[in-house]
Amino acid sequence: MDSKLLIEKTKALLHGLEKKTEELKAEKKHHLEYAQFALAETDTAIRTLKSWVITHDFDCWENEITFFKHLKPQFIAKFIYYSKVISVLSGLPHSGNKLKKNIYETELESLRYFSLEQREFISYWRRNATYMDIKYFLRYKYDLDVKLAIDIHSYDERFSTSHDHLISQILAHDEYEIFLSTQIAKLKESTPDQPLPKSPFRWTASKVGLTELVFALHHTNCFNGGSTSLAETVKRFEEAFSIDLGNYHNTIAEIRSRKSNSTKFLKLLSDNLTAYIEKED
């Protein structure tokens, strides 16, 4: 088949997959069951798509980029998303909303690590940039001077380019983040927040400053050898100081956006300690 026909068939295959998964969502009562059936449907569609592409020679680079930048990632993103949903839901405890919430928040944190690690490419993708497309989205053309996945040699180069899988991950993570946030909101609705225990030992500096300190300690693996989740670390500090840090992820995003001296509270601590030591000397 020619490349234009391949692209049209791919779009039709994607439309059929989306229609089928929507039907499954209406049929299945439980999200885990729905995700399992949707994953099976997605796997079948990907196998069909691969059988078309591995023997296909694109007639121009524009069509090849269209396929690997805009079409194939939508299939793989669904596979990644459903796999993640199945993994997290099948591993949840039967009871204990606090533990479930911690699990969901740990998953959210892993998504944010990915975003930080791949922020340059994510920016390229979000801006609809095209100047690197020839290096990113043509088969057999990867450039060793460009940041590549460490397992790139495990990919089937007949069905992959150096960066199409990254787009799949971005799309999957966007949907997975919505899923996790929805699950957390449901837990909050089913279990009203308990008031924080009162303590005479209070934090009297800013909440932003405490958030900055907590993140610094957590990411230096200061607690339990680094095995404690960020959500648990925040919870311990909130309990210790009878304070609610609210949406601390948004607070960190604001700290990250500072144009200068992003860790000004930590610098204040360092300056005050240095002044004290020099004075004592």
Predicted pLDDT of residue 150: 58
Predicted pLDDT of residue 126: 93
Task: Report whether 7 contacts 63 (CB < 8 A).
Answer: yes
> Which three-class secondary structure state does DSSP give residue 77?
helix
Predicted pLDDT of residue 146: 66
Predicted pLDDT of residue 154: 61
Predicted pLDDT of residue 17: 96
Predicted pLDDT of residue 125: 93
Residues with Cβ within 8 Å of 133's Cβ and at least 6 positions away in sequence, in order, are: 65, 69
Predicted pLDDT of residue 233: 84
Of the candidates 143, 147, 140, which has an alpha carbon nearest to the alpha carbon of residue 68?
140
Predicted pLDDT of residue 196: 52
Q: pTM for this one?
A: 0.67
Q: In angstroms, what CA-CA distances link 136 with 117, 129, 132, 183, 192?
A: 17, 11, 6, 35, 48
Torsion of CA 108, 110, 112, 116, to 10 degrees: 180
Let me know if 43 is exposed, middle or buried by CB neighbors in 10 A (0-12, 13-18, 19+): middle
Mark the ranges of the chain whose per-residue pLDDT is less than 50: none
Predicted pLDDT of residue 1: 82
Task: Report whether 217 contacts 233 (CB < 8 A).
Answer: yes
